[in-house]
């Protein structure tokens, strides 16, 4: 029975990694669609999000069954509860990648971001792609140095996010209302994506060390 239980825990870990890999692919494609006004690629991201949702639901059902039938304690219980919370963060990251792709599709054939702040969004995109890749590697290796790197990247994302709002509020901002809304929404999507990556990293740290690092609530 114990071998079956451990196999089920291992399967949950593998499913988390698979979801994270799909999220990493989604944000890469969403960024390409966003930067290049590529509606076909945007549609791929939007359609593929259903797979992330399905896998999250499947993982959560498996974890709840284990909680109900096996009565895990100590580190095993931490693993299962942590997996439930991490799957929710990963699913949300997939949703945010989808939102970025939807903006690209909505504004086609124009680019969403005006030239004046495009470099900021290029960096935001690069950081989110890096965070997604590091989250997957962290789930695979439990190397907590990656958690520190994710936190550092997130700090830079927060700086860029704040700079977008300063730019929009500046006197020389001359974009129309739809563009202004798109810019603020896109910045928010990138910022939230990074925050959820940090949330996953904190939960992996908790699984490895048993020490909880509180964080701000996510949505």
pLDDT at 1 over 80: no
Whether the ω angle into residue 109 lies within 30 degrees of 0, i.e. cis, is yes
Lowest mean pLDDT among 29-33, 35-39, 72-76, 120-124: 72-76
Indicate the pLDDT class of residue 7, thresholds 50, 70 and 90: confident
How crowded is residue 215: how many other Cβ atoms within 10 Å of its Cβ?
12
Can you give the pLDDT at residue 64?
87
Can you give the pLDDT at residue 39?
95
C-alpha count within 13 angstroms, C-beta hemisphere, residue 216: 7
Q: pTM higher than 0.85, yes or no?
A: yes
Indicate the pLDDT class of residue 17, thresholds 50, 70 and 90: very high
Can you give the pLDDT at residue 152?
97
Can you give the pLDDT at residue 204?
94
Lowest mean pLDDT among 51-60, 63-72, 97-106, 194-203: 63-72
Lowest mean pLDDT among 3-17, 71-85, 130-144, 198-212: 71-85
The arithmetic mean of pLDDT across residues 155-175, rounded, is 96
Q: In this predicted model, what pLDDT tens digit does every residue of 27-37 receive, in sequence order? A: 999 999 999 99
pLDDT at 115 over 70: yes
Average pLDDT of the chain?
91
Residue whose entry in the numeric block shows the structure tokens 């909880």: 212
The arithmetic mean of pLDDT across residues 153-168, rounded, is 97
Q: What are the sequence ranges of the domains in the chain?
A: 2-209
Lowest mean pLDDT among 10-24, 71-85, 111-125: 71-85
| 148 alpha-carbon distance from chain centroid | 16
Cβ-based neighbours of 130, under 8 Å, separated by 6 or more: 153
Phi, psi torsion values for 170, nearest 5 degrees: -70, 155
Q: Which CATH fold would you assign to the domain 2-209? A: Methane Monooxygenase Hydroxylase; Chain G, domain 1 (1.20.58)
CA 19 to CA 161: how far, in whole Å? 26
Indicate the pLDDT class of residue 215, thresholds 50, 70 and 90: low
* CA separation, residue 89 to residues 70, 71, 85, 121, 151 (Å): 25, 24, 7, 22, 15
């Amino acid at each position: 029975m114990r071998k079956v239980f451990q196999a089920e825990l291992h399967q949950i870990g593998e499913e988390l990694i698979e979801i994270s890999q799909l999220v990493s692919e989604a944000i890469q494609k969403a960024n390409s669609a966003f930067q290049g006004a590529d509606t076909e690629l945007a549609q791929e991201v939007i359609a593929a999000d259903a797979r992330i949702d399905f896998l999250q639901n499947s993982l959560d059902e498996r974890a709840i069954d284990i909680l109900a039938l096996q009565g895990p304690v100590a580190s095993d219980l931490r693993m299962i509860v942590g997996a439930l919370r991490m799957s929710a963060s990963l699913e949300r990251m997939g949703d945010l990648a989808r939102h970025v792709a939807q903006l690209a599709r909505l504004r086609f054939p124009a680019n969403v971001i005006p030239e004046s702040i495009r470099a900021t969004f290029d960096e935001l995109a690069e950081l989110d792609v890096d965070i997604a890749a590091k989250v997957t590697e962290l789930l695979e290796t439990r190397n907590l140095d990656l958690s520190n790197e994710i936190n550092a990247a997130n700090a830079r994302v927060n700086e860029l996010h704040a700079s977008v709002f300063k730019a929009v509020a500046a006197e020389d901002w001359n974009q129309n209302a739809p563009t202004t809304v798109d810019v603020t929404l896109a910045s928010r999507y990138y910022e939230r994506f990074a925050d959820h990556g940090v949330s996953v990293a904190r939960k992996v740290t908790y699984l490895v060390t048993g020490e909880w690092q509180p964080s701000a609530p996510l949505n």
